[in-house]
Amino acid sequence: MADECTHTDQIRKVTPSALGCEECLKIGSRWVHLRLCRICGHVGCCDQSPHRHARKHFHATNHPIIEGYDPPEGWAWCYVDKVGLDLGDDNVTPHNGPIPRYV
Ligand SMILES: [Zn+2]
Ligand SMILES: [Zn+2]
Ligand SMILES: [Zn+2]
């Protein structure tokens, strides 16, 4: 396992696809935390959520980098290298809120 992420050049400024987990909103499910794909803007849910849509998105698309997104805390995670990344203040994706949680 590498201690450094080799995918940081793939990180983009993205427009989030939804205010909450896209798939959970469709099926009326709950999530624990949101994860934003920094390659395409897909919003999914974390590994503690029942459906783990962010990880499913990674498996479906090979987009490796997600950002913690509820609210944005300035960190990202690479699924491939399994390392956390510090995005820095100017690279955080603002959440347009309110987060439609548990509806
Ligand atoms: Zn990586
Ligand atoms: Zn979900
Ligand atoms: Zn993506």
pTM: 0.92
**In this structure, what token pair is assigned to residue 80?**
């491939």
Q: Are 34 and 20 in contact (CB under 8 A)?
A: yes
pLDDT at residue 102 is higher than 60: no
pLDDT tens-digit profile of 60-93?
999 999 999 988 889 999 999 999 999 988 899 9
Ligand nearest to the CA of 6: 1
8 CA from centroid of ligand 3 (Å):
14
Phi, psi (degrees; rounded to nearest 5) at 61: -120, -15
25 CA from centroid of ligand 1 (Å):
28
Confidence of residue 2 (pLDDT cuts 50, 70, 90): low
pLDDT tens-digit profile of 52-67?
999 999 999 999 999 9
pLDDT tens-digit profile of 7-39?
999 999 999 999 999 999 999 999 999 999 999
79 CA from centroid of ligand 1 (Å):
7
